[in-house]
């Protein structure tokens, strides 16, 4: 009986730990910038894209350090590369399975958005996600935004959610419940309702890829492809979304 309660306690505690670590990392980064401002460090002369890149990367690095490092330092709960799904090098199947994952994700996401648009009063399917990079004009700003949003963020989020969170949950919960909890938390942390539905659909597919292959690489690749497509329409071909919206 105690073992059963302990298992359910872990199922509840792990996602809470990930969420608290993420918010703690954000608070810590804000605190660092606040201290720099207090000590008259001229942050205003630094390009906004550079500041956003630094802050975004710092948040994810600190989050991963807290999530993985604190349990290891305090309780000797070690998280290995195998736990994260990164103990093997990428295989050809990881690349080949990505297009199939993309199609499944797009179908599920479109279905969710269609249902929400038809049955949820006031639901705005066209609300744009705030990604922290506004008014980009110089080439290096676009490159920085691309590296952060299409490379760094997918890698970090996959390590955190499909690597750590899903990897730990599936040891204590049925696979369907591990997928559900991981996807709900992932969606919740992305804000707006339309974005949350889309990222929930994405997370379900990413978890399934992780479970099928036993590796995190397919999830990372699909996440990169998804963010790359979004980057193109948000920053390169912005007129497409404007035309699509009427």
- Where exactly are the structural domains of the chain? 2-244
Q: State pTM to two decimals.
A: 0.92
pLDDT at 40: 79
Contact status, residue 201 vs residue 112, Cβ threshold 8 Å: yes
In sequence order, what DSSP letters do the residues of 77-117 get, joined into one string?
A: ----HHHHT-SS---HHHHHHHHHHHHHHHHHHHHHHHHHH
Reduced to 3 states, what is the DSSP secondary structure of residue 64? helix
- Mean pLDDT across the stretch 48-70? 94
pLDDT reading at 125 higher than 50 = yes
Confidence of residue 4 (pLDDT cuts 50, 70, 90): low
Percentage of the residues of the chain whose pLDDT score is greater than 70 = 94
Q: Mean pLDDT over all residues of the chain?
A: 89
Contact status, residue 159 vs residue 80, Cβ threshold 8 Å: no
Confidence of residue 239 (pLDDT cuts 50, 70, 90): low
Q: Which residue do the tokens 């948000």 mark?
A: 234
Six-digit token string for 116: 């929400």
pLDDT at 9: 85
209-229 pLDDT, tens digit per residue, is: 999 999 999 999 999 999 999
């Amino acid at each position: 009986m105690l073992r059963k309660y302990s298992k359910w306690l872990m199922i509840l505690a792990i996602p809470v730990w990930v969420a608290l670590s993420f918010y703690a990392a954000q608070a810590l980064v804000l605190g660092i910038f606040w201290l720099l401002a207090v000590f008259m460090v001229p942050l205003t002369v630094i390009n906004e894209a550079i500041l956003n890149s630094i802050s975004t990367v710092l948040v994810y690095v600190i989050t991963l350090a807290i999530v993985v490092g604190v349990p290891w330092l305090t309780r000797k709960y070690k998280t290995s590369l195998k736990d994260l799904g990164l103990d093997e090098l990428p295989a050809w199947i990881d690349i080949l399975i990505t297009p199939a994952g993309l199609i499944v994700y797009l179908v599920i996401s479109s279905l969710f958005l269609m249902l929400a648009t038809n049955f949820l009063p006031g639901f705005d399917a066209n609300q744009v996600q705030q990604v922290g990079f506004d008014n980009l004009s110089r080439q290096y700003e676009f490159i920085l935004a691309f590296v952060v949003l299409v490379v760094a963020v997918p890698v970090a989020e996959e390590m955190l959610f499909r690597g750590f969170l899903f990897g730990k949950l599936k040891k204590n919960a049925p696979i369907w419940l591990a997928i559900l909890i991981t996807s709900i938390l992932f969606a919740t942390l992305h804000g707006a309702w339309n974005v949350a539905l889309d990222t929930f659909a994405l997370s379900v597919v990413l978890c399934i890829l992780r479970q099928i292959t036993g590796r995190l690489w397919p999830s990372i690749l699909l996440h990169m492809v998804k963010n790359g497509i979004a980057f193109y329409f948000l920053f390169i071909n912005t007129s497409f979304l404007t035309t699509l919206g009427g």
